[in-house]
Structure 1
Amino acid sequence: MADAALSTAPRAARGGSLALRLRQNAGLLGAIGLFVLFYGVYNLYHPRGFSQQVLIQNANEVFTIALVAMAQTVPVILGGLDLSVGAVMTLVNCLASHLVTGSAGEIALGILACLAAGTAFGFLNGCVVVFGRIQPIIATLATGAIAIGLALFLRPKPGGKLDADLSWAMTNSLGDFAETYGLFDGGQAPWFQPIAGIPVPLVLLVLVAVCVWMPFRRTLTGRTVYAVGSAEGAAFMSGLPIARAKLAAFTLAGFFAGVGGLFLAIQTSTGNADIPQAGAYTLNSIAAVVIGGTSLLGGTGGAVASVVGALVLRAISFNFRIFDIPPLMQPLVEGLVLLAAVSLGALRALRTRNRLELFR
């Protein structure tokens, strides 16, 4: 009997661990469910639903908001908000319209310069927050205005022209990418065919998440970001590098926003210092973070969850086209979905608070 009890103990522990993980990721699981629902309905009613062309179009529309949502996530985990992510994206978009053209070497240098500009602006945000001791929401409101001013200086009017081959290759399938640059026998290699139809933006999104966000999250600095968001005082008493974590968080946010702005320039083949667009991307990035289950109080969540939140937002807008929702009704529908997501995310905290009331 004792042996039987010992053998069931590991199973019970595994079951408890699984239940705990499900509770901890309830927000993310809910967001995934919403995306499956809205995107499934969209494809069912779309005349060309569940096709490669629709998937490529959707991937292009999702990429930029997903990167801006990732940019917003890191400061939110830290316990703050970055109101400059849309402006930094717009700045890099305008910069790319000047630099990403010419020979292959010039294009490569232009891409690096655009990413460096976004990263440097994020580092500037971090310096203002850390050394200026200013609240992130105030600091980034000011620096965002600076970014928009620089974008307007670069592009007073929409314009510019990016490399046409690059724009085509980066906004279509892997097969089109290989054919454009003569890779893998022009995309006809037998081993390449099973993946040739995958949209390039989707591959880029996975690469950014796997090669940038996940390694950062596992570093000491990445773990410190979570610790600061949970309890900055405790993190300080533990001797964690708080200043370095804050600088890294805003720098990484600038990098993600820069990637989003660069892709937007490649997608549209132009630069546009659109102030309303910058504000809309910033607000949507916050919404995506919340829908993905990341707490605005800091300390929990992740960039991948925010990508799912961005997918939910875009899936909702896709359905507007299919069901011909009047433009004046669209913000109402989006607001109701966001309110439902926020309410579900707050339910766990409410239950915890109710339990604590018993000990008073």
Structure 2
Amino acid sequence: MPRVIGYAVLAATFAAYLVVYTTSLGHLPTSFDYLSLLNTALPLVLVAAGQSLVVLTGGIDLSVGGMVGLGVAIMAATSGGGLAVSLGWIAVVLAVGVLCGTANGLIVAKGRIAPILTTLATLSVYSGLALKVLPVPGGTVAPEVRAVLTNPDLPTALLWLGLVVAGWLVLRRTRFGMRVYAVGSDETAARAVGVPAARVKVTVYALSGLCSALAAVFYVATTTSGDPNAGTPYILTSIAAVVVGGVAFSGGRGSALGAIAGALSLTLVVDVLFFAGIDPLYQSLFQGLFLVVAVLLGGATLRLRRATP
């Protein structure tokens, strides 16, 4: 039921976007506007999807900001030499993301260190590496990469969003997907019936790293340049997307689809505030209020469901 709140919030936010856009410009959004929105939302969608997997096991990944920043730095510093060169470096970025996520998972699962402490520490490490690779904002990306990933004139973003949703739907029905929920619901019971909890945790953190690396690739393709600190905003916004999407921080309840809906909602909120003429200095305030209202609605819905016979 809380997941439905995520979809309801997305619908309400989209309706508000249509109203303020039409009021401000005198016409409905064009296809270019929708594609631009999706291109802008894709990095957060990917990070939120990976974050939701970690949260479903009862963990949290604060290092997503560092992993995105490191991926952005590598991409921006190396991907200006054409499609073939860019594809090679994209593969490197994805591998680095998986390695960083795996390191998080090993420390959490094998070292038995609290996820919040582990990922807070690795956030600093990955952010430092990003600054080493790209000390100042800059770099570029091959136009061919942008044409394939975030073409503003073709619905490529819609295709990638569909692949993310399809990937979750397939993963949810696999044995691994069921084990993720089992570990999040009751790790001790899951271990008792033979679920390799440590392996599941390492894998979800590796997937979170992969999603963060993909987000970095799409970020650079959208902005056409890089910033080593580009990942910082995704730490809180990915957690906010998970909360809005109805994923329980206790683990075992929720869906990446809800987190994706939350990510799209948060992206739309920024545009709603812009077209509503809200001073940028106060946008963070209104985004925070939006999150508080969404969480309260989710909590109220859950209590109502429990109270209903």
1:223 corresponding residue in structure 2 = 178
What CA deviation, in whole Å up to 9, does each residue of 1:151-205 have, x standing for no partner? 00001111222112322443225xx5xxxxxxxxxxxxxxxxxxxx5x2122112
Structure 2 residue matching 1:278: 3-state secondary structure:
coil
Contiguous gaps of at least 5 residues in structure 2: none
- Identify the match of residue 56 of structure 2 among 68, 77, 86: 77
Instruction: Note closer, same or farther for the CA distance 1:54–1:270 as it changes in structure 2 (3 Å cut).
Output: same
AA partner of residue 266 (structure 1): A
**Structure 1 pair 228–167 and aligned structure 2 pair: CA distance change class (3 A):** same
Please name the residue that 1:97 is paired with: 76
Partner of 1:259: helix, strand, or coil? helix
In structure 2, distance between residues paired with 1:220 and 1:296? 22
- Is the counterpart of residue 33 in structure 1 residue 6 in structure 2? no
Q: SS of 2:232's equivalent?
A: helix
The Cα of 1:24 is off from its aligned counterpart by 6.2
SS where residue 102 of structure 1 aligns?
Answer: coil
What's the CA shift for 1:25? 4.0
The answer to whether the 8 Å contact 2:2/2:302 transfers is no
The equivalent residue for 1:87 is: 66
Selected match of 2:263 from 298, 302, 310: 310
Instruction: Please name the residue that 1:13 is paired with.
Output: none
Partner of 1:253: 208
Distance 1:335 1:355 in 2: 30
CA distance in 2 between counterparts of 1:46 and 1:120 reads 46
Of 160, 165, 183, the residue aligned with 1:209 is: 165
Q: CA deviation at 1:46?
A: 4.5
Match of 2:292 among 336, 339, 343: 339
Identity across matched positions, percent = 34
Show CA shifts across 1:267-303 (max 9, x none).
22222112xx433211011111111111122111122
**1:341 aligned partner, one-letter code:** A
Could you say what the CA RMSD is over the residues aligned between the two structures, in angstroms?
A: 2.1
Map 1:212-291 → 2, pairs under 5 A: 212-274=167-229, 277-291=230-244
TM-score, structure 1 normalization: 0.80
Q: Deviations over 1:233-266 (max 9, x none)?
A: 2211221121111011101111111100111112
Give secondary structure in 1 for the equivalent of 2:231: helix
Residue 35 of structure 1 contacts residue 308 of structure 1 at CA under 8 Å; is this kept in 2?
Answer: no
Alignment partner, residue 53 of structure 1: 32
Are residues 354 and 303 of structure 1, via their aligned partners in 2, closer, same or farther at CA, if it must alter by over 3 Å? closer
* Residue 40 of structure 1, CA deviation: 2.6
Amino acid corresponding to residue 164 of structure 1 in structure 2: P
Q: For residue 331 of structure 1, what is the amino acid of its counterpart? A: S
Q: Could you tell me whether the CA contact under 8 Å between 1:81 and 1:137 is conserved in 2?
A: yes
Structure of greater Rg: 1
User: Contact between 1:35 and 1:311, CA under 8 Å: does it hold in 2?
Assistant: no
Q: Which residue of 2 aligns with 1:158?
A: 137
What TM-score do the two structures reach when normalised by structure 2?
0.92
CA distance in 2, matches of 1:109, 1:243: 32
Contact 1:221 1:244 (8 Å CA) reproduced: no
* Native 8 Å contact 1:101 1:110 kept in 2: no
1:130 maps onto 2:109 in alignment: yes
Unmatched runs of 5 consecutive residues or more in structure 1: 1-22, 177-196
Q: Distance in 1 between matches of 2:300 and 2:190?
A: 27
1:300 aligns with 2:256: no
Alpha-carbon distance between aligned partners in 1 of 2:235 and 2:287, rounded to the nearest angstrom: 15
1:90·1:273 contact (CA, 8 Å) conserved in 2? yes
Give the Cα separation in 2 of the matches to 1:105 and 1:253: 26
Q: Quick one: distance in 2 between partners of 1:158 and 1:247?
A: 32
Q: Which has the higher contact order (CA 8 A, sep 6+)?
A: 2
2:149 to 170, 173, 178: 170
